[in-house]
Structure 1
Amino acid sequence: MTPIISLARASLTVALAVSLSSTGHAQSQPKPATEATKAANREMQQRLNFNDRDDFDNATRGLIAKPDTLTIKGDKGNVVWDLEAYKAFISVDKPAPDTVNPSLWRNALLNMQYGLFKVHDKIFQVRGYDLSNITFVRGDTGWIVFDPLISAETARAAYDLVSKNLGVFPIVAVVYSHSHVDHYGGVRGIVDEKDVEANKVQILAPEHFTEHAVSENVIAGNAMSRRAIYMYGALLPRNAQGGVNGGLGQTTSTGTTTLIEPTRMIKKTGEEATIDGVTMMFQMTPGTEAPAEMNTYFPQFRAMWMAENATNTMHNILTLRGAQVRDALKWANHLNETIDLYGAGTDVKFQSHHWPIWGNTNIIDYWKKQRDMYKYIHDQSVNLMNKGYTGVEISNMVKLPPELDRAWFNRGYYGTLKHNTRAVYQRYMGFYDGNPTTLDQLPPEEAAKKYVEYMGGAAAILQRAKADFDKGEYRWVAEALKQVVFADPSNRDGKELLADTYEQMGYQAESGPWRSVYLQGAYELRNGVPDAGGINTASPDTIRAMPPEMTFDYFAVRLNGEKAAGKKIILNIDFSDLKKPYSLVVENGVLNYAARSAPDADAQVTLTKATLDSIQLGEITPEQAITTGNMKVEGRREAFVEFVGMLDKFPFWFHIVTP
């Protein structure tokens, strides 16, 4: 059995122990910016107010200390975080290169402001040590920590920086703001689970946190992880023609992802907790940026922690790696509730990405414009949807009003207006745009061959595409050349010109993920699909937190329907440690399960949940578990073997820009 891949947004990161030069392909070098790209980036430079330096003042305010260099390594000497790769070419004294959108370059400059910062007399943040921030709130005797990053190694390094400069104090509580891995994955780097079990450390989280933390990407984890390679630019070199910025932060760490389950679930808005002399009031915001999420207000400090509901960018209504569509209207409504409940009493707003904002007037203006951005996206997309426009049409029609569009914190560094408006359409209307032609479309390869035939053949398309490329009409060139590549993936000229096209689109992209998507697509067209590298699948902590039901749901997804057709297999699974029996039934090409034994089972399988976890993690095979006595199979053993043989192993490096 293959291990489950469960990556909640960031590790997503898919820690790839591979560089572009190690994939076994002859490397094609990136191209410079064309005149059309230079012109587009100059237009962006002229359109936005780059003289506004407020963000730079906020991003550097309160700096206490930072190391001269920031490279964090794991226990085996492996690099899990390297800001130096970015510092080599990103500097405030350097203008945006021709190959980088100047607005994205500005965002990268801001995210490069790293170190230990004072937010309030009692609140401190370490920024630039991972995709997310880690926050330390000073109590009477120790620290309350908010969102301990992705990796244990980066969280530990941040705690060391705090201890060195602010004194050595114990951690008395950890608060997970929401169920994405960049907000809990480093917890074991700063907390010993024995202290949690001994009630020395409390761990708070929003209701249903654990369920969503371990489940969000289990079912579709393999596909999401492959697409995350594109979204986060995991394989791109760090330079002006490669990975520059991830929007929410520079990139994601690739260390040890962990999880300690919460000791207290927060269930309703207004619920309070006082820990070590610090009073916290919680605002529940489920269904916004994450299915389980909460903001935290500190009345003693007149400070508001916004989790990831209000960062200094437009966020995703639908993330490009794939996920369930978020609710833009609910997001706006929760921000409105934040203003109503806590607006008058807030003097500093801070969150799990980017830098804080100080001053009540500034904060209220910020909250209103973030609220209205999401509501405008929702309302205008639905308005046009009700006039008969499709998602693609809507994405080309909706423009933010100037007062929202010009606010730097509303710019599309992570989410974008174009894909967020399509996401709203998808939430209400689904994949079908209402046109009969799109109801039963040909597969891409079949359609491409007919397109190429109708357009006069590949040579004719390439001739026209080259002319349009020279005019800077990259969106259309990409559309046309996609047909050439899918009709004949061996057409080298088509792939090269399409790669050149994606590259220029990446150079113009204001969104970090869009840039990564385009540049990774260009790389794979030129060099082929990578075939090496270690994928950082779900951590052992995540697997152990999965209930049996979630594991069986994943088995059902892995079941090959064609192999299972016409078969009937009944297995009883008895967890000796949980004292819970289950039955698995393969029939009609599907797998169903029940929390009871079946009287007519083909085989009885007895094992502990820990043994099943080890099988899920790929640490042992079922055969090894039987040989060592960790798993016992009674009855028709071949039925169990046959069942295992029906479970597919998903290929990670499937093709995306080629068929």
Structure 2
Amino acid sequence: MAERNDATEATRAAHAALAAALPPDDGHDFALARRGFIGTIADAAVPGAWSMAPFAFLDGERPGTVNPSLWRQAKLNALHGLFKVTEGVYQVRGFDLSNITFIEGERGYVVIDPLISAEPAAAALKLMREHRGDKPVTAVIYTHSHVDHYGGIRGVVTADDIAAGLPIVAPEGFLEAAVSENVLAGPAMGRRATYMYGALLPKDAKGHVDAGLGKTVSTGSVSLVPPTISIARTGERLTLDGVEIVFQVTPDTEAPAEMNFFFPTFRALCMAENCTCHLHNLYTPRGAQVRDAKAWSFYIDEALALFGAEAEVMFASHHWPRWGEGPVAAFLRKQRDLYKFVHDQTLRLANHGLNAAEIGERLRLPPTLEAEWHTRGYYGTLNHNAKAVYQRYLGWFDGNPANLHKHPPEAAGRRYVALAGGPEKLLENARAAYDAGDYRWTAEVASHLVFADPANRAARELEADALEQMGYQAESGPWRAFYLTGAMELRNPRPASATPRQGAAGQLRALPAERLLDALSVRLNGETAGAAEIALTMVFEDTGERFALSVENAVLHHRPGVGGPEARLARASLVGLVIGETTLEAALEAGTVSGPGATAFARLLPLLDRFDFWFEIVAP
């Protein structure tokens, strides 16, 4: 790996200026984050999936390569183990990006949000059983449709549990939202997530330090088990293993399908991921639908009205709880107003004629919100959240006709290089900006040359140097990770591949048949399909379901029923064929694909793209 730089004087000066403006730190958050600690395992280590050991450098003094505010958040997120929230409610924190919560029922444990992958979830359950008794898991609750809240379910339940109908509770629309965010756009989102979570970066003071929302993402086995119970309306009550729960549905907040809920027996309020100890994303840089800040604020206010007078503790799926009726209510009010402020002020400025970039530069929190640590942009930022509000209402176009049909990056890059007077002249100007500490402009200018000529090593190195300093300065964990990963890939280009390099297919394999066919429709190559017409009936032998598949007008359709000759196969076989794990010839020979419709299927299969997970981001 190419050599990484130290912080420049401009970066150190930026850190000093920020440190002087931060709220006073009286240690209160650290006390909250440690409260109720029961025990842990060394380094929270889960072989092959997770460990806190690489973050031991956080015990030292903050280096110049890390934003002082993010350094503090990183130390808080490094605390790990089993914690008592209140009687009957326990959390394991620091075993993954998210928290896993255990509710003690009459017979066993109700699990809330079983992490990203199975191995850390299993380790958390083992820790809970060691300290609170070897009891079965009696139900699972998914608070919302993001993978860090359901992907580890196989670590806490068995195939027999699932077959026996173990209750799995989720908000209405969960499966559709999970498929949309993690499957339909999954390959692109997954690749961008390697940037957002610093997955490729060294874990050190010049690399990945913290994700803001939690430490980082686990790397174990991810799966999706559909819910068996859907919560459709606020006020629904459910008793799981003798524990009463009152639900509040909160669609289009932090996730398209999300819910908060209250445990009257324990006077404990779960705010899912709607209230955590930072400013969250209204738009997530890995890519997802823009979130509704107005609805987000409304549902926090509704939770305050519904449960605020009764809740003695509030916990969430990330970070640490708040205790006491007064502190819980105060926290909810500040979080409520944080999202409403961003929403209202963005639209106020938009109605004055400012565009998204201008609003992002101008927006500042009022003093009462800026005085809180839990409103800081460790994950979302005011800058990109303001742009998200603008996008939700006004779209990507800022109204300036010069921006309506701009050249794509490679074509624009060539023109910018020519305008600058050639590569050397452009680099001369970019280097001057770097020397002046204007790293944003350096990166923008040098990027044009990289897209015009990706082999220009000087341009790649200079852009990487600028992105690196921007990463060192970033308070947001994702911003830091994006900048530093971009710098790393500019300096260390990945060799091209003759065949698509597949991402993880675990969630694809776990999809119900209809959702799997939804996912295939976005793989149909319209240019290759052209005027082709194909019809068959796909019979899934593992479920007995039949779907009529057809291709016309370069679109793949499916509906339950019969629509042509039958091609019989299991869902897993279909996934293996689509991602290239096997060939149709081998499947026919092995008998895993059969039936008269195999001929039509043989015409369809070559029309389905295989996505290369490692597509370029900072270069053409």
Under a length normalisation based on structure 2, what TM-score does the superposition of the two structures give?
A: 0.95
Q: CA deviation at 1:277?
A: 3.1
Query: Is 1:398 matched with 2:367?
Result: no
* One-letter identity of the residue aligned with 1:81: W
Q: What is the rounded CA distance, in whole Å, between the counterparts of 1:258 and 1:568 in structure 2?
A: 34
Segment of structure 1 superposing worse, 39-48 or 507-516: 39-48
Determine the structure 2 residue equivalent to 1:632: 594
Question: Where does 1:277-426 land on structure 2 (aligned, <5 Å)?
Answer: 277-426=242-391
* One-letter identity of the residue aligned with 1:46: A
Q: What is the rounded CA distance, in whole Å, between the counterparts of 2:598 and 2:277 in structure 1?
A: 60
Query: Is 1:62 matched with 2:27?
Result: no
Q: Indicate which of 574, 577, 595 corresponds to 1:612.
A: 574
Determine the structure 2 residue equivalent to 1:239: 204
Q: CA deviation at 1:352?
A: 0.7
* Structure 2 segments unaligned to the other structure (5+ residues): none
Query: Is 1:82 matched with 2:43?
Result: no
Q: 1:626, 1:633 within 8 Å by CA — same for their partners in 2?
A: no
Q: Indicate which of 202, 215, 236 corresponds to 2:167.
A: 202
Query: Is 1:225 matched with 2:193?
Result: no
Q: Indicate which of 502, 517, 540 corresponds to 2:467.
A: 502
Q: Indicate which of 527, 531, 536 corresponds to 1:571.
A: 536
- Any idea what the Cα deviations from partners look like across 1:129-169, whole Å, max 9, x if unmatched? 11111111122332221111111111111111112222222
Q: 1:193, 1:260 within 8 Å by CA — same for their partners in 2?
A: no
Q: CA deviation at 1:596?
A: 3.8
What's the secondary structure of 1:58's corresponding residue? Answer: helix
Determine the structure 1 residue equivalent to 2:619: 658
- Any idea what the Cα deviations from partners look like across 1:355-382, whole Å, max 9, x if unmatched? 1111221111111111111111111111
Determine the structure 2 residue equivalent to 1:645: 606
Determine the structure 2 residue equivalent to 1:484: 449
Change beyond 3 A, Cα 1:388–1:156: same
Q: CA deviation at 1:531?
A: 6.4
Determine the structure 1 residue equivalent to 2:84: 118
Q: CA deviation at 1:618?
A: 5.2
* One-letter identity of the residue aligned with 2:6: P
- Any idea what the Cα deviations from partners look like across 1:546-585, whole Å, max 9, x if unmatched? 333x333333322222222232333332345655443333
Q: 1:214, 1:543 within 8 Å by CA — same for their partners in 2?
A: no
Query: Is 1:144 matched with 2:118?
Result: no
Q: 1:543, 1:617 within 8 Å by CA — same for their partners in 2?
A: no
Q: CA deviation at 1:235?
A: 0.5
What's the secondary structure of 1:82's corresponding residue? Answer: coil
Q: CA deviation at 1:621?
A: 3.2
Change beyond 3 A, Cα 1:606–1:195: closer
Q: 1:178, 1:206 within 8 Å by CA — same for their partners in 2?
A: yes
What's the secondary structure of 1:283's corresponding residue? Answer: strand
Q: What is the rounded CA distance, in whole Å, between the counterparts of 1:189 and 1:376 in structure 2?
A: 40
Query: Is 1:539 matched with 2:493?
Result: no
What's the secondary structure of 1:385's corresponding residue? Answer: helix
Q: 1:307, 1:351 within 8 Å by CA — same for their partners in 2?
A: yes
Q: CA deviation at 1:211?
A: 2.7
Q: 2:223, 2:510 within 8 Å by CA — same for their partners in 1?
A: no
Q: What is the rounded CA distance, in whole Å, between the counterparts of 2:163 and 2:415 in structure 1?
A: 64
Q: Indicate which of 24, 29, 46 corresponds to 2:3.
A: 29
What's the secondary structure of 1:289's corresponding residue? Answer: coil
Q: CA deviation at 1:286?
A: 1.2
Q: CA deviation at 1:279?
A: 1.6
* One-letter identity of the residue aligned with 1:381: T
Q: 2:212, 2:378 within 8 Å by CA — same for their partners in 1?
A: yes
- Any idea what the Cα deviations from partners look like across 1:189-215, whole Å, max 9, x if unmatched? 12223234435x422221222232233
Q: CA deviation at 1:488?
A: 1.7
Change beyond 3 A, Cα 1:635–1:292: closer
Q: CA deviation at 1:298?
A: 1.2
Change beyond 3 A, Cα 1:337–1:636: closer
Q: What is the rounded CA distance, in whole Å, between the counterparts of 1:287 and 1:635 in structure 2?
A: 41
Question: Where does 1:256-267 land on structure 2 (aligned, <5 Å)?
Answer: 256-267=221-232
- Any idea what the Cα deviations from partners look like across 1:2-37, whole Å, max 9, x if unmatched? xxxxxxxxxxxxxxxxxxxxxxxxx21110000000
Q: What is the rounded CA distance, in whole Å, between the counterparts of 1:162 and 1:401 in structure 2?
A: 42
What's the secondary structure of 1:396's corresponding residue? Answer: helix
Q: Indicate which of 41, 44, 55 corresponds to 2:18.
A: 44
What's the secondary structure of 1:537's corresponding residue? Answer: coil
Query: Is 1:109 matched with 2:67?
Result: no
Q: What is the rounded CA distance, in whole Å, between the counterparts of 2:491 and 2:319 in structure 1?
A: 35
Q: CA deviation at 1:491?
A: 1.6
Q: What is the rounded CA distance, in whole Å, between the counterparts of 1:239 and 1:187 in structure 2?
A: 30
Query: Is 1:253 matched with 2:227?
Result: no
Measured on the aligned residues, the alpha-carbon RMSD in Å equals: 2.0
Q: What is the rounded CA distance, in whole Å, between the counterparts of 1:219 and 1:242 in structure 2?
A: 31
Q: What is the rounded CA distance, in whole Å, between the counterparts of 1:262 and 1:636 in structure 2?
A: 33
Q: 1:222, 1:652 within 8 Å by CA — same for their partners in 2?
A: yes
Determine the structure 2 residue equivalent to 1:76: none
Q: CA deviation at 1:496?
A: 0.8
Q: What is the rounded CA distance, in whole Å, between the counterparts of 1:61 and 1:185 in structure 2?
A: 28
Q: 1:313, 1:409 within 8 Å by CA — same for their partners in 2?
A: yes
- Any idea what the Cα deviations from partners look like across 1:270-315, whole Å, max 9, x if unmatched? 1112233322111111111111111111112221111111010111
Q: Indicate which of 139, 152, 155 corresponds to 2:121.
A: 155
Q: CA deviation at 1:589?
A: 2.6
Q: 1:214, 1:546 within 8 Å by CA — same for their partners in 2?
A: no
Q: 2:509, 2:572 within 8 Å by CA — same for their partners in 1?
A: no
* Structure 1 segments unaligned to the other structure (5+ residues): 1-26, 74-78
Name the count of aligned residue pairs: 618
Determine the structure 2 residue equivalent to 1:17: none
Question: Where does 1:162-177 land on structure 2 (aligned, <5 Å)?
Answer: 162-177=128-143
Determine the structure 2 residue equivalent to 1:271: 236
* One-letter identity of the residue aligned with 1:137: I
Change beyond 3 A, Cα 1:462–1:626: same
Determine the structure 1 residue equivalent to 2:490: 525
* One-letter identity of the residue aligned with 1:592: H
* One-letter identity of the residue aligned with 2:458: D
Q: 2:578, 2:608 within 8 Å by CA — same for their partners in 1?
A: no
Q: What is the rounded CA distance, in whole Å, between the counterparts of 1:552 and 1:187 in structure 2?
A: 23
- Any idea what the Cα deviations from partners look like across 1:401-424, whole Å, max 9, x if unmatched? 121122111111111111111111
